[in-house]
Amino acid sequence: MTRRHIHYEAAFEDYLRSRGIAYVPVDEQKKVIFSGARIKSFDFLVYRPEVKWLVDVKGRKFPYDTTANRRTWENWVTCDDLNGLEQWEATFGEGFCAMFVFAYWLTGKPDTRLTCHIHPFRDESYAFMCISLADYKAHAKRRSPKWETLTVPTADFRRLAKPIQEL
């Protein structure tokens, strides 16, 4: 079952439902074990005519303000996120594409919008930027060894990630 209390995932599910896109939310409470090891679950199986998506939703604020500065295009993931999606894609096989969907909660002024494709949800605005696991993995750099996180440099991410409406 989707964690509907996480507004980023709820907004993405609302987007899929509102567009009539077939999907199955993954029950994250049921942990899957492969060869004795737990694998991180993905969030949605999305059915598209040409390929099925294994989607891991990553919620981020846009822009993200800290006391030191304002950051945009936050796209970090954990090593577990990446490894889990990689294992799921291999398990499902041909015809399935693992993707990260960055659900950006748009909190800035209109001129800071990252795309013209805006999805209103619960009096807030969201944009959904998609990047395939293959593209993410090919361009990822270590963000934090301590937290085991990766990120794609902003210029690469802006070039590679696409609004979900364009896929």
Q: What pLDDT is stored for residue 42 in this prediction? A: 93
Average pLDDT for residues 59-78, to the nearest whole number? Answer: 80
Q: What pLDDT is stored for residue 25 in this prediction? A: 94
The domain in which residue 71 lies consists of 7-166
52-62 and 96-106 as β-strands: parallel, antiparallel, unpaired? parallel
Within a domain: residue 153? yes
Within a domain: residue 32? yes
Number of CB atoms found within 10 A of residue 31's CB: 10
Within a domain: residue 15? yes
> Side-chain half-sphere of 38: how many Cα atoms within 13 Å?
8
The span from the first CA to the last CA of the chain, in angstroms, equals 25
Average pLDDT for residues 32-43, to the nearest whole number? Answer: 73
Look up the CATH number of the domain holding residue 84: 3.40.1350.10
Sign of CA dihedral 16, 24, 54, 104: positive
Has residue 21 got a pLDDT over 90? yes
The structural domain count of the chain equals: 1
Within a domain: residue 27? yes
Tell me the pTM: 0.88
Has residue 33 got a pLDDT over 80? no
The whole-angstrom separation of Cα 81 and Cα 58 is 10
Within a domain: residue 1? no
CA angle (52 as vertex; 165, 25 as ends), nearest 5: 85
Q: What pLDDT is stored for residue 64 in this prediction? A: 66
Within a domain: residue 112? yes
Within a domain: residue 85? yes
Mean pLDDT of the chain: 87
Within the chain, strands assigned E span: 22-25, 32-34, 37-39, 44-47, 52-62, 64-65, 70-71, 77-78, 96-106, 119-121, 124-132, 141-144, 149-151, 162-163
Q: What is the pLDDT of residues 83-130, one digit of tens each?
A: 999 999 999 999 999 999 999 998 866 544 566 788 999 999 999 999
Number of CB atoms found within 10 A of residue 94's CB: 5
Q: What pLDDT is stored for residue 67 in this prediction? A: 62
Q: What pLDDT is stored for residue 163 in this prediction? A: 92
Within a domain: residue 2? no
